[in-house]
A = this chain, B = another copy of it.
Amino acid sequence: MTFRLEKLLEQLSKKEENEVLRNDVYLSMKNDLVKNPPAGKKKALQSKKKEVKEPSQDLEDRLLRNIKNIESTVAELSQVSTNQIMSWFQEWFSIAQQHPWIGEPNAMCISTISTKNLSSGDDKSAKSLLFPDSRFVLLKGRDNSKGVFTFFTNYESNKGKQLTAYPQCSLLFYWEPLHAAVRVQGVVEKTSDQVSDEYWNSRPYQSQLCSAVSEQSRTVENRGQLEKKLEQLNTKCEQDQKVPRPKHWGGFYVTALQIEFWKSGPYRFHHRVVFTRQNHTQTDKESWQAALLQP
């Protein structure tokens, strides 16, 4: 897959380069580029090296003050609005974005329900069991007025198929360096073609290529087969540097029915506040019940 390293550097616009360094390229590839840069690129790449900062204690203090504020708000109000809850989420998210050790504050664990057929070696005793299945994806959008979180994936991947069979999921933001988490349970629906197209078109050409080539979660004989497919698609698309969005690739909206804010305490004496949407069929109705949970 030599096209990657060579073409990459030619193609990277300033915008793409920033996006790539932030979200996509792992360090080993950055190293490859730094070690063997084409003429004229060496200086630019080296200056991209991220400065390592000591995290400010202030960030975690702000989170702690915030959850104490949530606790006292909840003690006074029996019902809380969607906008209020999402504004707390926004504040926590923004604190996570400021932490120098958190590379992807928008990374969230999405868990789905899968079905496994287990054979015990004797066909008669084969049985089907439900299993949760979990992986991290990136949050790509949010509707604060509705309590909706958006992400994109391959609808034919394991998670896509699982969400089609059981359109319920949990999302979990876990910001380890801040000792904080936000837990969401919700129902999913697919985004419109228009929304999926808009996001697809905003992605770098190389990400489009890789997503279009991958039959996500299906087996493959070896890595070489995938890289060959990638080169073939690249050859086909490289003239206009655009890859058409595959029909099976798109977004999911997760409408939250429950949101919990979790902040660790010493000796596991944590702070936990949970909000539960009271009327799940009317997502525009602002009726969330709040409760403090024991740690």
Chain A positions within 8 Å of B, measured between CB atoms, are 4, 20, 24-29, 31, 52, 54-55, 57, 60-61, 64, 71, 75, 101-104, 107, 109, 111-114, 116, 118-121, 125, 129-136, 166, 168-170, 172, 174, 176-177, 179, 181, 183, 185, 187, 204, 206-207, 209-211, 214-223, 226, 230, 257, 262, 264-269, 271, 278-282, 291-295
Q: Which residue of B lies closest to A51 (CB)?
A: B54
Residue of B nearest to A184 (CB): B134
Is there contact, CB below 8 Å, between B292 and A223?
yes
Which of B104, B113, B291 is in CB contact (< 8 Å) with A132? B113
Decide: A132 near B112, CB < 8 A? Known: A215-B294, A294-B217.
yes
Q: Provided the pairs A52-B54, A116-B185, A130-B113 are in contact, do residues A29 and B218 lie with their beta carbons within 8 angstroms?
A: no
Q: Is the beta-carbon distance between B26 and A293 smaller than 8 angstroms? A: no
Contact A295:B214 (CB < 8 A) given known A24-B268, A64-B28: yes
Assess A134 versus B267: contact at CB under 8 Å? Given A26-B179, A221-B292, A294-B226.
no
Top-6 shortest CB links A-B: A111-B132, A120-B281, A111-B111, A206-B267, A210-B269, A219-B291
Partner of A219, one of B4, B25, B109, B292: B292
Q: Is the CB of A295 within 8 A of B216?
A: yes
Minimum C-beta distance from A287 to chain B (A): 9
- Whether A121 touches B282, Cβ cut-off 8 Å, given contacts A61-B28, A168-B132, A218-B294, is yes
